[in-house]
Each structure stands twice: as structure tokens, then as C-alpha cells.
Amino acid sequence: MAEAISRIDPGSTVAAGLALEHAIPFAAGHELARQGIGDLTLVGPISDVLFDQLVGAGVASRVRAAWAGNVSAGSGYNFRRAVEGGDLSVENHSNFSVALALQAAALGVPYLPTRSLLGSDIAEEPQFRVTEDPFEGQRIVQVPAIAPDWAFVHVQRAAPTGDAHLWGNTGVTYQAVRAAEHVLVTTEEVVDLDVIKSDPSRTRITREQVDAVVEAPFGAHPSPVAGRYNRDNEYFLAYADATRDADGFDAWADEWVYGVNGREEYREKVERDLSVQEPTTAAEVTYGK
């Protein structure tokens, strides 16, 4: 993980939290904080507390997102303090406009149009342009493309080649992977390539897109990973209580980010059993040749 994260330059745009509340790449984010790679622009729809932690660690200067905070407790206090103190630039989006911005970059076009933003004052944000479509003359909003320097993705399994399987909610993961210049895949387990080849329809993250693969079991905690572990609700509540002021966050980060030597040591600190208690299996898919 340390080697992969060291490739990221200060000032980069990093997309993360792309599967909404599912499979958020916390392990990669914590390594960003440990290495102090700063002046980052963070892009994502709902990152839960990951963006709040990176803001608190002082490595983020700009956020382009639909929401930043704590899904279980409301405010992300680091994010709120930074915005109120004028220390963080924020570009407001809806979840859909983030998706459109990434999809535009993936398609190689400068923008994609939408009407949905006309239902809110987000359309008046300076990054958007309200205009008329050339065919029907109706008002539309042009959403400019966002092409991240890096996309962080956490998956259930990946081969050393970079080919990966992600199931459950995927959000805007695939749009971001295609839009980004570089992709870091963190995975619950590294598997033989034959495992990936056995289900080609699920292989929507492929080797030519991926710059690094890091095996990181428990790498999305406290968010859930479908089929592996559940959301750690207690963590989010405890985090909110601990980070109400800046000193509280510093103490929290000293224990949970800077005070652990990698994800294995981090995992040992989590005493709750978050394993899936009633696993379900999808129906078998048959291929042929």
C-alpha cells in the first residue's frame, strides 16, 4: 500500500467513495494521510467519513462532491470546520451530476446535459452552465467533465494483473475507472487469474485500466463489503463523538491512522464481529466454449 500511494503526486485529483456507502477505500485513504500527500482535490458522490478524515489530516484543499459528512451521525466535523474557516474549497454537486461528470470524461466529451439540476439551486453553482438544448429549445444544465488523476476502488477480489470483480452496489465506480488517468485497486484478496476468467461478465475493471493492485483485507472498514463484512455502525457513532473538536480528531487519528502499522494491525483493534452471518449465494451462471 505504501508503495502504491507513494506514486500519487501532491495536488492530484483523487476520486473515492465511488460505490456510495459500500466498499469505501478507507485503507488507501489512511495511507494518503500517513504519507501527508497534500493539496488534494477529492471527488465522489457519498464518501461517508473518508473525506472528513482526509480534510482533518490536512491533505485536502478542495472537495467536489454531492455530500460529505457522517451518514450515521450527520455532520463531518472536520469538513464543517474547514468550510466555515475558509480552509476548504467546495464544489457542490448532486449524486447524478457527479456521475455525469465522470461519465463525460470517460466518453471523452467536455460535458453532458441534464434537466434534473433545474429542480434545485445547485444548477446556479458556477461550474455548471444553464442553457437551451439545440433541438427542442428547453432549458438544460451542462455538467462539465471531471477526469481524476487517480481513482481508488476497493473490490472483493482481483488478480495480480489488475482484472477485478466487484459485486453489490457499484455506484459510479466504473465511470470513474474509465475517466481516471490512473487507478488503484485495493482488494479483500488477490486471486489467481483463472478465478477472474471464470466470470468474465463481472470483470468490468480490467488490466489496461489499473496501475496498482494492493491486497488489503478489511480495507473498506468501517463501510461494508458485500459478502465479506457488514457496516460498523458503532464506529461511525464513536467517530462523531471523538471528532467534535480538532483536538479530538487529532487524538482519534493518532490512534487509528498514524498509530497503526498497516491494515492488519488496524484490524486487530476492531473487536466487533462484522462478518456476514447469513450469506446468500447467487444462482450459478454457466458459460461454454
Pairwise CA distance, residues 230 & 228, whole Å: 7
Instruction: Provide the residue type at 225 as one letter.
Output: V
**Cell, residue 60:** 485536502
**Cell, residue 110:** 467536455
Q: What is the pLDDT of residues 182-207, one digit of tens each?
A: 999 999 999 999 999 999 999 999 99
- Which value, in Å, is the radius of gyration of the alpha carbons in the chain? 19
Mean pLDDT across 165-173: 97
Q: The whole model's pTM is what? A: 0.96
Q: First and final CA of the chain: distance in angstroms?
A: 38
Q: CATH assignment of 2-96+147-266?
A: 3.40.1080.10
Mean pLDDT across 203-214: 97
Instruction: Provide the residue type at 152 as one letter.
Output: F
Confidence at residue 258, expressed as pLDDT on a 0 to 100 scale: 97
Q: Lowest-pLDDT range, 113-117, 190-194, 276-280? A: 276-280
pLDDT confidence bin for 279, thresholds 50/70/90: confident
Confidence at residue 47, expressed as pLDDT on a 0 to 100 scale: 85
The answer on pLDDT for 12 being more than 90 is yes
Ramachandran bin of 34, using left for φ above 0, alpha for ψ from -120 to 50, beta for the remaining angles = alpha
Q: What is the pLDDT of residues 36-64, one digit of tens each?
A: 999 999 999 988 999 999 999 999 999 99
Give the number of other CB atoms < 10 A from CB of residue 198.
14
Confidence at residue 238, expressed as pLDDT on a 0 to 100 scale: 96
DSSP SS3 for 211:
coil
Each domain of the chain, given as residue ranges in start order, spans: 2-96+147-266, 111-144
